Chain A
Amino acid sequence: MVTDEERAMAMLAEANPIPDEGSLELIPGPTAHFVVPIQRSSETMDVRDDQMERQNRPAKGIRVFGIAAAAIVAVVGIVALVISQMGESAPIVTNPPSTTLASEGLSLEEQEEAVRTLINARDVETLRSAVSAGWIESHTPPDAEDPERTFDEFWTSFLEAQQILGIERELQGCDQIDDTSAQCTIGYSDNMTDALGQWPLVTSTPFSFVDGKIDMGDPTDNFLTAYERFQSYANAVGIQAEVQENCPVGPFEPDCATFVIDNLEEWVAWEEANG
C-alpha cells in the first residue's frame, strides 16, 4: 500500500526538470566558463561576497534592548515547546525533580531528548512567573512595562506578533557543561531571514537550571537586528510616519509585525540595493 506521502515524493521525483545531468549542454572546461565572469565582474563579486558575508555575520554589539527581548523571545520559544508537548490537561510540576543531563555516550537525538525532558520538568507557569517575578527583569522589553496592560495581555500580543513574523526556533542539540548547565544549539529563522535567503541562523546559547528556574544566556537576537535594518529602510524611503503609527511601542506587537510583513518585499529589494 502506497501512502499519500510516498506517492507525493514519487511524483516530485518525476517532476524533476533536469532528470539527467548528462543532458545539459555545458560549455566544456573551466577556462571557457570563467574567464568572462572574472574579467567582467570581479569587483562586483567582491562587493556581493562581502554583502553575503555581512548578512551571515553575527551582529556586533547587540544593544541591551536587543539582548533583553532576545531572551524573552527565546523563553517564549521554550514555552511554546512546553505547551506543545504538555497539552492543556498535562499536570503542572511545581517541584521539578532534580534532573541532570548525562550527555556522555548519548547520541545527538538522545541528548536532545534529555534536554526536552529537563525543560518539561519545569512548567509553563514557572517560566511565566519567573519572567514576571523578575529573575529575568533586566531582560524585559519595554513593551512589557506598559502600565495599561496586564502581563497576560502583553504575553498574548507578544506571541501573536511572533507568529506573524514567522519566528521559529529549534533546539538542535546540547552539550552538558555540568549538572546544572548546558550549552545548546538553537536554529533561528523568521520571515525576514527567509526573504533574505538566509538558512536558519544557528546560535549557541547557554542554559542553566538553578533554583527551579531555567535561565538562558544571551542569544544573538536576529529579529531585532533585522528590525533595526527595517527602520533604516523606513527612514531611507520616507515611511517613518507609518512606522511610528503601526509600531508605537516596538516590533513585538501584532500591528507592527503585520506592517513589517506587508513591506517585506520592498524592504528586501532595498536591502539588496543598499544593505
Chain B
Amino acid sequence: MDDSRFARLYEQHHRRVHAYCRRRATSDIADEAVAETFLIAWRKIEDVPDGDEAVPWLFAVAYRTLGHQRRSAFRRTKLTTKLASVGATHVEAPEEYIVIRQESQQILEALSRLTAKEQEILRLSVWEELTHDEIAQMFGLSLAAVRKRLSRARQKLAREYDRIDRRVFSPLLRKEVHGDR
C-alpha cells in the first residue's frame, strides 16, 4: 500500500469530491459519501489513475456511492428540495436575490424533470466543469455518445424551463423580470 500516494490523492482531490457530493446530497450524506469514496480509493489505489485523471474515477465512485446511500435511506426527495437547503449564490440587492432565487428554483425544477442520466451529465458539465472526455472516461461512454446526450439534455432543459417559466410568470411580470426576449 502506497500511503504517500493516497495522501497526495486525498489532498489534491478531496475538496472537489466533497463539492461534487454536496451538490447532489445533504451535508450528512455527502460527508459519508466522501469518506466511502476515498475508502474505496484507498483499497483500490493501484487502479486509481494519476493526476487529474483521478477525478473522473473518483466521481464515478462517488456517483455510485451516493446513489446507494440515497436508496438505502429512502431519501428520494426531489433535487429542488434538497438543494433548497444548501444555500444560494451571493447577490447584491434583495430584489435581485429574489429573482435569482426564483430562477434557480425554476431551473432546478426543470432539471428535476429530466431523467437521472440527463441531470447527471448536465451537472457534470456545468457544475463540475468536466470536459466531454472526462465524462466519457467517468462512465465508459464514447465521446460521441457524451456529446449527443449532452446536446439532448441541454435542449430538454431549455424546453422544460420554458414550460415552468410560462406557468409561473404572467406576461407583465415576465417582461419586468426578464426584459423583452
Contacts and interface: CB of A to CB of B under 8 A. Distances in A.
Contacts of B148: 170
Interface string A42-56: 000100110110000
B72 interface: yes
Nearest to A8: B158
A200 B34 CA distance: 23
Nearest to B108: A15
Size range of the interface on B? 35 or more
B175 to A, nearest CB: 15
Size range of the interface on A? 35 or more
30 contacts: A5-B155, A9-B126, A11-B106, A12-B126, A12-B127, A14-B89, A14-B104, A14-B107, A15-B103, A18-B22, A21-B16, A26-B15, A30-B7, A33-B34, A33-B38, A34-B38, A36-B35, A37-B36, A37-B39, A38-B39, A45-B36, A45-B39, A109-B144, A172-B142, A189-B117, A194-B116, A197-B63, A202-B141, A268-B71, A272-B72
Nearest to A16: B127
A12 B111 contact: yes
B74 A269 contact: yes
A200 B106 CA distance: 28
Given A5-B155, A12-B111, A17 B15 contact: no
B29 interface: no
A269 B158 contact: no
A12 B122 contact: yes
A74 B179 CA distance: 49
Interface in A230-275: 265, 268-269, 272
Nearest to B32: A37
Interface of B: 6-7, 10-11, 14-16, 18-19, 22-23, 32, 34-36, 38-40, 42-43, 63-64, 67-68, 71-72, 74, 76, 83, 86-87, 89, 100, 103-104, 106-108, 110-111, 115-117, 122, 126-127, 139-145, 148, 154-155, 157-158, 161-162
A185 interface: yes
B89 A16 contact: yes
A173 interface: yes
A150 to B, nearest CB: 34
Interface of A: 3-5, 7-9, 11-19, 21-22, 24, 26, 30, 33-34, 36-38, 45, 48-49, 51-52, 108-109, 112, 170, 172-173, 185, 187, 189, 194, 196-197, 199-200, 202, 265, 268-269, 272
